[in-house]
Amino acid sequence: MINPVLLRSFCSLVENGHFTKTAEKLYMTQSGVSQHIKKLEEQIGTSLLNREGKSFELTDAGRTLYQEAKKIVQALNDLEANVLADPAYEGMVKIMSPGSIGLKLYPHLLQLQQRYPKLIIDYRFAPNNDIEQALMDKRIDCGLLTKVPTENGLACRPIGEEGLLLVLPAVIEKRDMNAKQPSKASQTETPSWQDLEALGFIDHPDGTHHANLLLSANYKEFKHIREFKKRVFLIKLI
């Protein structure tokens, strides 16, 4: 089997017409190019060049070989380019994020898929810890989190801010025995610490992290979410 490296050197020599120029283009020495041509002639068993000083002419076998060899060299170049090609808007992209981010982002990704039919987006909602593990396991290409990852093998950067809201029942039962009727919570009214203790907590996989962020910033009494009675654990599977 003919060495394709030798074929590349031969085709380059024919196209440049000069050993020195060919050596410069291939980042070789002139003697290195001469050795490639000699080895190629030995493999084929015939002369490819008629040398006259520093110039040369192709033999009949050399002309025939060049016509066939340039097809092989071009095919090898195309093969390398195709293997390394990674079109930006083709193929599957696997993404995971918490649901709050996904609900905002996914409509934009659908529009992107409509523009690029060859793009396939596999989008899944998951809590932060599951997203970190999926990234470490290389099961996804990109993960969006609402906290800084703890795994050393992950790199991250902030891309935006998302507000946290404390969701309460419209009517809050007061613990004050003198109150004749429950009070109705307003959008501007800040519930008391006692109100929150009485209500309890609806937990979810990222509940502790989010509760620590929101409650520690608004209530000096807050120490840990374990202080609240857990009413239910909620997780949404998609």
Provide the CATH number for the domain around residue 158: 3.40.190.10
User: Chain-wide mean pLDDT for the chain?
Assistant: 85
Contact partners, residue 199, CB within 8 Å, separation at least 6? 168, 169, 172
**63 within a domain of the structure (yes/no):** yes
Say yes or no: 90 and 79 in one domain. no
Say yes or no: 58 and 108 in one domain. no
Of the candidate ranges 4-13, 149-158, 172-181, the one whose mean pLDDT is the lowest: 172-181
Q: Return the pLDDT at 183.
A: 58
Of 214, 212, 95, nearest to 145 by C-alpha is: 95
Of 138, 109, 104, 137, nearest to 123 by C-alpha is: 109
> Which range of residues forms the domain containing residue 16?
4-84
Determine the 3-state secondary structure of 156 from DSSP: coil
**114 within a domain of the structure (yes/no):** yes
What do you get for the CA distance between the two ends of the chain, in Å?
Answer: 55
Say yes or no: 57 and 98 in one domain. no
Token duo for residue 200: 């309890």
- Angle at alpha carbon of residue 149, lines to 147 and 153, rounded to 5°: 165
Sign of CA dihedral 158, 160, 163, 164: negative
Contact partners, residue 62, CB within 8 Å, separation at least 6? 14, 47, 48, 49
Q: In angstroms, rounded to a whole number, what is the distance separating the alpha carbons of residues 226 and 201?
A: 9
Say yes or no: 126 and 192 in one domain. no
Radius of gyration of the chain (CA): 35
Of 162, 191, 220, the position where a domain reaches its end is: 162
Token duo for residue 70: 């340039």
What single letter denotes the amino acid at residue 194? Q
Instruction: Using the predicted structure, report yes or no on whether residue 14 has a pLDDT greater than 90.
Output: yes
Say yes or no: 101 and 137 in one domain. yes
Mind listing the pLDDT tens digit for each residue in 155-192?
888 888 888 888 888 766 554 444 455 555 555 567 88
Of 35, 50, 84, the position where a domain reaches its end is: 84
Mind listing the pLDDT tens digit for each residue in 82-139?
776 777 888 899 999 988 888 888 899 999 989 999 999 999 999 999 999 999 999 9
**Contact present, 140 and 134 (Cβ < 8 Å):** yes
Say yes or no: 15 and 67 in one domain. yes
Q: What is the CATH classification number for the domain harbouring 58?
A: 1.10.10.10
Determine the 3-state secondary structure of 114 from DSSP: helix
Of 132, 162, 192, the position where a domain reaches its end is: 162
Say yes or no: 91 and 156 in one domain. yes
Instruction: Using the predicted structure, report yes or no on whether residue 238 has a pLDDT greater than 90.
Output: no
**238 within a domain of the structure (yes/no):** no
Say yes or no: 16 and 44 in one domain. yes
Q: In angstroms, rounded to a whole number, what is the distance separating the alpha carbons of residues 238 and 236?
A: 7
Instruction: Using the predicted structure, report yes or no on whether residue 67 has a pLDDT greater than 90.
Output: yes
Percent of the chain with pLDDT over 70: 89
Say yes or no: 152 and 178 in one domain. no
Number of domains comprising the chain: 3
**22 within a domain of the structure (yes/no):** yes
